[in-house]
């Protein structure tokens, strides 16, 4: 499925993302087989989170639709803008960064018993992005999750080491680290590939800083491991790891809750942001008005900005004159959150007419309607009162759909004809 890009309103790693507190829970409930999270902190411009969730073949279509619909509803809290990006967009984003991963050489206890440890670095990633913002470089944190079955036999292999460490120092850091590894491996969870990144041109100057940050994190969490045994290596351009470097697959094992831990570390909840122009939080909207059409009547959904009432009236008059059944909502407070009955109106529509204006393109509410219609593969007919192009954030998704001008000869007729074709095609199915 296409990837999802969330353009964030606050910095990564700092309390500013109240509405994204549910993102980790959403991903957990959806149960994807694989999830790639790619956090980008930019020195100029907003932070981004790119998500690519993959589901089993039998669930892919329905689950991806549910997931993106749920993201649009979360978008209603005004903490981010959401749009779809092709898979290659994420790969292109990765290519801009040098990405660093952590491994350790073979560890052994004093008795000679081999030792393996899980190596989570989400806490270091948050510090990395905060530091990068201070030194004015673009930075990234990548976490690629893949479902992992429980491996009790591998856990049993850690029992002698755990027993030895517990006997030597019952409350020691080494015993705690091995206990966490034991508990992680013996239950179902994730295999996670974690990497810290810096934009390639800045990497030579930033390498020592990132190495020092990781070594500080590792010393804090695993002070019993000699520093010379840590290996910090850069991935190749496609994100793969040379086979000889992937010496300890246990390093990538994580608990089931680690996905939520990563989200909460990178997007810690803070005060809910205010709605644009209101100074207050978004409020609940009244339920969408009833669909006053005979059951089964094909209709076009009219999507418009609250400030464009005059344009809406002109469009409704034209459609009515052509005998085109249509529906629009009314009495909606600007900045209102998502409503289930409004969702049902978009789902039931045979076509979607977007009244594209400057007000429309900056309205989060209108953008959500438009993206939801696209998500449902509704025929989209965008019209504008004057010359207009798609704004940033919408241009990538809708650049192939031409906006029909209404101020040119035949403009109204072209728009009505496009709507009629969409309604006729849908009703004949």
What is the share, in percent, of the chain residues with pLDDT greater than 90? 31
pLDDT at 276 over 50: no
What pLDDT does 371 receive? 87
Place of tokens 């309390």: 15
What pLDDT does 335 receive? 47
Picking from 337, 300, 373, 381, the residue whose alpha carbon sits closest to that of residue 65 is: 373
CA distances in angstroms from 219 to 215, 379, 382, listed in the order given: 6, 57, 57
304 shares a domain with 262 = no
Does some domain include residue 255?
A: yes
* Cβ 97 vs Cβ 397: under 8 Å: no
Backbone phi, psi, residue 398, to 5°: -125, 15
Report d(CA 334, CA 302) in Å as an integer. 16
Which of 266, 287, 319 represents a domain boundary (last residue)? 266
Does some domain include residue 373?
A: yes
Q: 408 in helix, strand or coil?
A: coil
Q: Is the dihedral of CA 220, 225, 227, 231 positive or negative?
A: negative
203 shares a domain with 262 = yes
Does some domain include residue 272?
A: no
pLDDT at 74 over 50: yes
- The pLDDT-based confidence of 244 (bands split at 50, 70, 90) is very low
- The model's pTM is 0.74
Boundaries of domain holding 181: 3-266
Question: pLDDT tens-digit profile of 119-160?
Answer: 899 999 999 998 998 899 999 999 999 999 998 888 888 887
What pLDDT does 291 receive? 61
Does some domain include residue 192?
A: yes
Please state the rounded mean pLDDT for residues 9-21.
73
* Cβ 38 vs Cβ 89: under 8 Å: no
User: Residue 226: exposed, middle, or buried by beta-carbon count in 10 A (0-12, 13-18, 19+)?
Assistant: exposed
| Domains of the chain: total | 2
- The pLDDT-based confidence of 11 (bands split at 50, 70, 90) is confident
12 shares a domain with 71 = yes
Cα end-to-end distance, the chain, whole Å:
25
Does some domain include residue 290?
A: no
């Amino acid at each position: 499925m296409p990837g999802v890009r969330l353009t964030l309103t606050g910095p990564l790693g700092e309390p500013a993302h109240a509405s994204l507190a549910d993102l980790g829970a959403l991903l957990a409930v959806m149960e994807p087989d694989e999830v790639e999270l790619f956090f980008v902190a930019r020195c100029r411009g907003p932070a981004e989170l790119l998500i690519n969730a993959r589901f089993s073949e039998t669930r892919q279509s329905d689950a991806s639709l549910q997931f993106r619909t749920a993201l649009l509803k979360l978008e209603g809290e005004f903490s981010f803008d959401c749009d779809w990006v092709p898979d290659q967009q994420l790969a292109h984003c990765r290519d801009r960064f040098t990405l660093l991963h952590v491994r350790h050489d073979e560890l052994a206890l004093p008795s000679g018993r081999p030792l393996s440890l899980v190596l989570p670095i989400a806490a270091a990633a948050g510090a990395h992005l905060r530091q990068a913002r201070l030194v004015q470089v673009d930075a990234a944190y990548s976490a690629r999750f893949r479902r992992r079955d429980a491996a009790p036999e591998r856990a049993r292999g850690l029992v002698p080491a755990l027993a030895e460490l517990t006997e030597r120092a019952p409350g020691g850091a080494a015993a705690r680290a091995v206990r966490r590894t034991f508990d992680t491996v013996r239950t179902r969870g994730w295999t996670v590939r974690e990497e810290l990144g810096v934009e390639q041109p800045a990497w030579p100057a930033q390498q020592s800083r990132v190495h020092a940050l990781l070594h500080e994190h590792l010393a804090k969490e695993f002070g019993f491991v000699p520093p010379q045994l840590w290996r910090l290596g850069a991935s190749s351009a496609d994100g793969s790891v040379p086979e000889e470097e992937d010496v300890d697959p246990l390093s990538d094992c994580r608990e089931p809750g680690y996905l939520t831990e990563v989200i909460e570390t990178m997007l810690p909840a803070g005060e809910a942001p205010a709605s644009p122009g209101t100074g207050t939080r978004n409020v609940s909207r009244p339920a969408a008005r009833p669909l006053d059409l005979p059951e089964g009547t094909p209709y076009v959904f009219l999507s418009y900005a609250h400030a464009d009432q005059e344009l809406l009236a002109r469009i409704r008059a034209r459609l009515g004159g052509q005998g085109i059944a249509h529906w629009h909502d009314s009495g909606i407070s600007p900045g209102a959150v998502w409503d289930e009955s409004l969702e049902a109106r978009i789902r039931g529509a045979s076509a979607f007419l977007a009244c594209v204006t400057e007000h429309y393109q900056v309205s989060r509410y209108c953008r959500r309607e438009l993206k939801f219609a696209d998500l449902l593969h509704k025929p989209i007919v965008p019209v504008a009162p004057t010359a207009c192009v798609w704004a940033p954030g919408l241009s990538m998704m809708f650049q192939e759909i031409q906006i029909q001008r209404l101020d040119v000869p035949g403009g109204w007729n072209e728009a009505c004809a496009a709507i009629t074709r969409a309604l006729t095609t849908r009703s004949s199915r």
